[in-house]
Structure 1
Amino acid sequence: MSYATDTINTLAVIAPGSDLAAAREVRDAATQNIIKSEKALFDGPSGLSRQERLAIALQVAGWHHEEQLSAYYRTLLQKLTPQSTPRLGAALAHAETLTFHPVKASAEGLNVLKSHGFNAEEIVTLSQIIAFVSFQSRLVRGLRLINGESVAGNTGNALAGEWHTQPRTLDDRAAPVAFTAQELGWTPWLAAKPYTEFSPDEQATLTRFGHQDSDYFRLLGRNLPVLEARTLTDKGIFYTADGLPRAERELAATVASKVNGCIYCASVHARKAGQLSKQPEAIAQLLAVAPGESLSQGQSARWQTEIEFAAALSATPPTAGAAHLSALREQGLDTLALLDLVQSTAFFAWANRLMLTLGEPYLPEA
């Protein structure tokens, strides 16, 4: 597989010297680490075969109706000998759940994968691939919209999704049953890799990002090159100057989490959005929206357009269209701000699917 060119740049048909190309150069940290994430997932060490990885990516791209991305993975897969095995079937069943109904991922689902021979490292990599292609699909669509390209499929608004309502976690802790800005804990369904089992260089990487004491990150650290590239992608999207205000990037993350039903991610990013915007009441109103209801109702005109776009881009398959972009431009978002909104939203197609498939949130003891 060649990474001489930027896959996203090619699929979104971004012309050199265009406003969008310039905006991606401003956000070069994100751009370069998206490329590194793809390379780590598809070229890096893993118990998953190349054929398994590409077959899963092709199917996930297809479910998102992203024809250019599907064609990209189909071309790569055609260079290999096709294989259909019960193991691949189990992986694709897991991918279907995680693509369309991530809130329905469960510990039992991970046990099914184990019964087909997947170990913890392979389950982490499999989940990363599904989540990454979910991100990639939305990023390509969003950039094509900014670029004025036509997009496939129906367009429209998306609504708040379902969420976990079990009152207890698998390890019998109190679990949140509604969205909240309260600080939550998270408990894994797979064992996190002990810090002492990482090499000194790997320990240094975890420590550099402040991840050494986190079960979530030490679990993702079972494929550390992917975790490192993903963490740097996150920082390149959210922790950069100019463009879309940081509060509105956090708003987009919260909206995506509402669509996907990720109570944990929403709690983190709702707090940040409320603090940075100094509008905690508006964020509380967003969190309170029930499944199947409009997420933008009662918000300011600018936030309404951003929420409606983020929700539509977060749907599966995405329904964001040209009308959303026109409304955003009318609210004063320039190309860099639009790029920030697309990347902030799309990234949580990735983040939510990892949080929801590998563990669950819990309420800290008072």
Structure 2
Amino acid sequence: MTRTKDLLDELAEIKSASALAEARALRGAATEHTQGSHEILFSSASKSFPLSWRAALARQVALWHQAPQLANYYASLPSQPAEGAGLQAALAHAETLTFTPAAATQGDLHALREAGWSVQDIVTLSQLVAFVSFQSRLLTGLRLLAGHSVPRGSHDAVAAVWRSEPRTATGQPAPQAFTQRELHWEPWLAAKPLDEFNALEQATLAKFGHADSDYFRLLARNLPLLEQRTLTDKGIFYTSGGLPRAERELAAAVASKVNGCIYCASVHARKASQLSKQTDDVARLIATPPGQALETGQSDRWQKIIAFSAALSTTPPNASPRQLDALREIGLDELQLLDLVQSSAFFAWANRLMLTLGEPFE
């Protein structure tokens, strides 16, 4: 795929040869595949999910996240007024993903099916909304790093509520509280059977370890996008230097607590605990009650990291220049700050897929 521009570089107004530009170049894989994900979503489309619908939905999601530069960009693309049952159903789904992803149910997907959406288009729709949620936060973080003013939401950055139903839709025991234990996940839509992928597609799934996962074989109904998303993930979390990997995983766990994603929180809190050896501190984070600040009781460094990550994860984002200055005061350089922004922002994407396409079980 040949890329002629980097959309976020333009919208964030990053000066060439700046410390931020150099940091993004060092994180070239994340930069490239974030743009690649965007291009997959907005360079081609199906007749049942046209580009005009995608642009209209993306603009609305960017507006909800108070990302005016991004909203204006999507407004410049050919779009279509929100008319007809199919697009109205998509907007309702997008609003749930944006503001209350942890409240999503299997019935939300049933409503899309009733409005004529295919399983493949529902997956792409969910990816689009979740991606623009990530893209908006990443743009907010980049503009903060570049020294520009950004709109701020008014929501407190606190731990979210988790649902209390004792059973999943299929009768499996549902987790009742955030945990570091290993959880399982089941989809509300049928994952694509492995034997329905061709040999090249199966090889792609196997390369990333996705072949045996219902979650990834569901997302693989749009395999080119899944591939770009996976490479974005790897570019953010599996690169050398910069912010310690343990603190990138910490940011992922924080975002998951803010978004109410009990599955992602369990995975990434466990990784943060293993890598940092700060088992009690991670346990304290995971045990934070709903409505409470996540940084309470942590070391000075982790307080500042957690507070920024949580603020970037609210809807709309609420991160501030003051928080960024506090991170610089404890020694985080531009590459480390970029790693923190990207690790936090990515889970706006990951959480929204996990929460709205299926559910965890014990």
TM-score by length of 1: 0.96
Distance verdict in 2 for CA 1:360–1:132, change over 3 Å? same
- Which residue in the other structure is 1:196 paired with? 195
Query: What is the CA distance between 1:45 and its match in structure 2?
Result: 4.2
Partner secondary structure for residue 76 of structure 1: coil
Cα distance in 1 between the residues matched to 2:172 and 2:82: 42
2:56/2:82 contact within 8 Å kept: no
Cα distance in 2 between the residues matched to 1:280 and 1:42: 42
Over residues 107-153 of structure 1, what are the superposed CA-to-partner deviations in whole Å (9 max), with x where a residue is unaligned?
00000000000011000000000000000000000011111111113
Query: What is the CA distance between 1:199 and its match in structure 2?
Result: 1.0
Over residues 200-241 of structure 1, what are the superposed CA-to-partner deviations in whole Å (9 max), with x where a residue is unaligned?
111010000011000000000000000000000000000000
Cα distance in 2 between the residues matched to 1:207 and 1:68: 38
Over residues 141-190 of structure 1, what are the superposed CA-to-partner deviations in whole Å (9 max), with x where a residue is unaligned?
00111111111135785111112221111110111011000001000000
Counterpart mapping for 1:16-55 below 5 A: 16-46=16-46, 47-55=48-56
Cα distance in 2 between the residues matched to 1:35 and 1:27: 13
1:187/1:361 contact within 8 Å kept: yes
**Runs of at least 5 residues in structure 2 that lack an aligned partner in the other structure:** none
Deviates more, 1:2-11 or 1:215-224: 2-11
- Find out whether 1:74 has 2:80 as its counterpart: no
2:152/2:320 contact within 8 Å kept: no
Cα distance in 2 between the residues matched to 1:61 and 1:271: 32
Distance verdict in 2 for CA 1:156–1:171, change over 3 Å? closer
Distance verdict in 2 for CA 1:353–1:308, change over 3 Å? same
Partner secondary structure for residue 132 of structure 1: helix
2:45/2:51 contact within 8 Å kept: no
- Find out whether 1:64 has 2:60 as its counterpart: no
Q: Which amino acid aligns with 2:28?
A: D
Distance verdict in 2 for CA 1:3–1:67, change over 3 Å? farther
Partner secondary structure for residue 76 of structure 2: helix
What count of residue pairs does the alignment treat as equivalent? 360
**Runs of at least 5 residues in structure 1 that lack an aligned partner in the other structure:** none
Cα distance in 2 between the residues matched to 1:304 and 1:76: 41
1:155/1:321 contact within 8 Å kept: no
Q: Percent identity?
A: 60
Distance verdict in 2 for CA 1:4–1:95, change over 3 Å? same
Counterpart mapping for 1:143-162 below 5 A: 143-154=142-153, 157-162=156-161
Query: What is the CA distance between 1:81 and its match in structure 2?
Result: 5.4
Distance verdict in 2 for CA 1:156–1:101, change over 3 Å? closer
- Which residue in the other structure is 2:333 paired with? 334
Counterpart mapping for 1:318-333 below 5 A: 318-333=317-332
1:156/1:321 contact within 8 Å kept: no
TM-score by length of 2: 0.97
Q: Which amino acid aligns with 1:8?
A: L
